[in-house]
Amino acid sequence: MLSLYRRHRPRAFDSVVGQEHIVRTLRNAIGLDKVHHAYLFVGSRGTGKTSMAKLLACALNAPGGPRADFAPDEPSCRAIMTGTSLDVVEMDAASNNSVDDIRELRENVALAPMGGGRRVYILDEAHMLSASAWNAFLKTLEEPPQHAVFVLATTEAHKVPATIIDRCHRFDFHRPSLEQIASVLGRVADEEGIELPDAAVGMIARSATGSFRDALGTLEQLVTYGGNSVELDHVLEILGVADVGLVFDAAEALVDQDARAALLAVESLSASGRDVGQFMRDFTAHLRHLFVVQTLGQVPDSFSVTAEHTDRLAGQAARLDQGRVLRAIELLATGMSAVKEGSDPRVQLELALLKAVQPQSDLSLGALVYRIEQLERRLAVAEGTGGVERSPSGAGNGHETAPPGAPRGPRTGVAPVSAVSGGATALATAPEPAQELELESVRTLWPAALDAVRGGNAMVGALLAEARPIALDGGLLKVAFPADCEFSKKKAEANRALLQAALLQVTGSSLALEFELAEPGDETVPAPTLSHEELLERLKQEFGATEVFEDAPDQED
């Protein structure tokens, strides 16, 4: 019994989905009797290259002469579609790529058609021919018999010699959209009596990655697995993918910067038994969709299958800025690379999600750059420095920058450029009222400030790692150490200027500092990772520190 894909090949040009530009050109060529002797069909797997070649063969061998509106039920057309026609020769170049194979083809080319008007030679995976085979084929392609038509199908046109391409009419097959694949799945399911839920259609369409053949192959596998009534759980099991709702939940955690929700999403994924690596790829694709939606300002038809999916995609894109989307994609890419090298997939997924939803916890240079960019954007909008905040869709009005030397930072503003008579522009340099720096901004940039401190004094930077900003009142920042970190507090007080300079560098604000010890049991300030004694020992070992006692007795001469 033929597979679903072969049973449901397009039987006429009108039933071809997604390649209208090629259908129109071939129809015109047939109608005007201007069919070329050689065609190069280029496109990814499962996009219909061989099916189109067979339709062309049917049209050229239709009873009564070539015509585009041939009758699919004619015996000659049925023979071509089932592969039994003597006037259509299909050859797989992947396994028939030698010079001898091409020589045999050249000998057969001279034979006249057996029943139709043309002999059509369909060469699949044409790029697999060897260089010597191409050279042997070139002469035939240059001077073919009048009755011969060649169709070379390939997924890798760059491997086909230029001398061959120059002698062919090239057609590029587009990847079908999700909507187009879904329509074919729905039609086939109806004709085969298969009950297929809309959610399952969407999952199968997405997993097919632009291949009609893969989509119908998955549908056939599902029918074999569970019968003609396809259930959503069966789709999840066969494909090994997560429910699209779980992908949206993970993205929602990113929107809300909710670390707990992110970890719960991973736990749900793990409990479902789905492949974590596949989820990372699915989530990356979802984030890419969000970025494209933000850039275009709308959801492309190829991105969604249902209206509900479209609405959720648009809603998330509107609430998540592009910087965070791109950063999450980069983090997932790093995680997937680590998985390929043997790292645990779940650990890498959790790490990527936590870094994405909590950028302040990431001390990498990339995270620092991201946090600074986010702060600059917010400050530019809040204080009118000439910057224009970009909308989540990415369709912002751009950024106008202050002239060289203009002060920057949260304490000084520069009025935006405004038009005056005659089309000239003027820049107002009078400072605007200052916008108070927020505690949350300081907390976000705290790891970057500590990096700057470490650059000047690694030991002080190590001590300050135990501290947390707890309050910001005007220009006074209160920093708390755990209750039993008296030594670290005193050392910070002695190096107050170092931390102030670092905060000025990353926030643009000059802040007064007040250090204190947290109350025992205060969960807002985490307990130190090292005990007091362990910390002193580490400072001695790593930084050559010496413990000095304030009340040490005078040394005798």
pLDDT for position 363: 52
Share of the chain above pLDDT 70, in %: 77
Average pLDDT over residues 519-523: 70
pLDDT for position 53: 94
pLDDT for position 190: 92
Distance CA 63, CA 117 (A): 9
| Tokens 């729905």 belong to residue | 186
**How is 147-178 classified by DSSP, letter by letter?**
TEEEEEEES-GGGS-HHHHTTSEEEEPPPPPH
Distance CA 56, CA 61 (A): 9
Q: Is the C-alpha dihedral spanning 158, 159, 165, 170 positive or negative?
A: negative
pLDDT above 70 (res 248): yes
Q: 434, 410 in Cβ contact below 8 A? A: yes
Domains 4-172 and 244-359 share a fold: no
- For residue 388, the SS3 value is coil
Average pLDDT over residues 434-442: 73
* Closest C-alpha to 67, from 121, 118, 30, 108: 30
Q: Is the C-alpha dihedral spanning 520, 524, 530, 532 positive or negative?
A: negative
Q: 81, 9 in Cβ contact below 8 A? A: yes
pLDDT above 90 (res 486): no
pLDDT for position 58: 93
Give ∠ CA 209-211-217 in degrees, rounded to 5: 105
- For residue 406, the SS3 value is coil
pLDDT above 80 (res 33): yes
- Weakest mean pLDDT among 52-56, 278-282, 389-393: 389-393
**What is the CATH topology of the domain spanning 439-543?**
GMP Synthetase; Chain A, domain 3 (3.30.300)
pLDDT above 50 (res 434): no
Please report, for residues 107, 365, 498, 511, the alpha-carbon distance to residue 469 in angstroms, rounded to integers and kept in the order given: 84, 21, 16, 12
Average pLDDT over residues 283-287: 89
Residue 75: Cβ within 10 Å count: 10
Treating both helix axes as pointing N-terminal to C-terminal, what angle do 178-192 and 212-226 enclose, rounded to 10 degrees? 40
Q: How confident is the model at residue 465 (pLDDT cuts 50, 70, 90)?
A: confident
Residue 67 in tokens:
């015509």
Residue 161 in tokens:
């010699």
Overall size of the chain counted in residues: 557
**What is the CATH topology of the domain spanning 4-172?**
Rossmann fold (3.40.50)
Question: 94-106, pLDDT tens digit by residue?
Answer: 787 778 888 888 8
- From the number of C-beta atoms within 10 Å of its C-beta (0-12, 13-18, 19+), residue 34 rates as exposed
* Closest C-alpha to 223, from 191, 183, 194: 194
- For residue 546, the SS3 value is coil
Residue 515: Cβ within 10 Å count: 19
Long-range contacts at 411-419 (CB < 8 A, ≥ 24 apart)? 411/508, 411/509, 411/510, 412/383, 413/383, 413/384, 413/385, 414/384, 414/385, 414/386, 415/384, 415/386, 416/384, 416/385, 416/386, 417/386
- From the number of C-beta atoms within 10 Å of its C-beta (0-12, 13-18, 19+), residue 338 rates as middle
Which one-letter amino acid corresponds to residue 42? Answer: V
pLDDT above 90 (res 21): yes
Q: List phi, psi (to 5°) of 174.
A: -80, 145
User: Could you state, in order of their start, the residue ranges of all structural domains in the chain?
Assistant: 4-172, 178-239, 244-359, 439-543
Distance CA 527, CA 423 (A): 61
β-pair type (148-154, 425-426):
unpaired
Please tell me the CATH code under which domain 178-239 is placed: 1.10.8.60
Average pLDDT over residues 414-420: 33
Distance CA 557, CA 555 (A): 6
pLDDT above 50 (res 395): no
| Tokens 């009609």 belong to residue | 212
Domain range 244-359, its CATH number among 3.30.565.10, 1.20.272.10, 3.20.20.70, 3.30.2320.50:
1.20.272.10
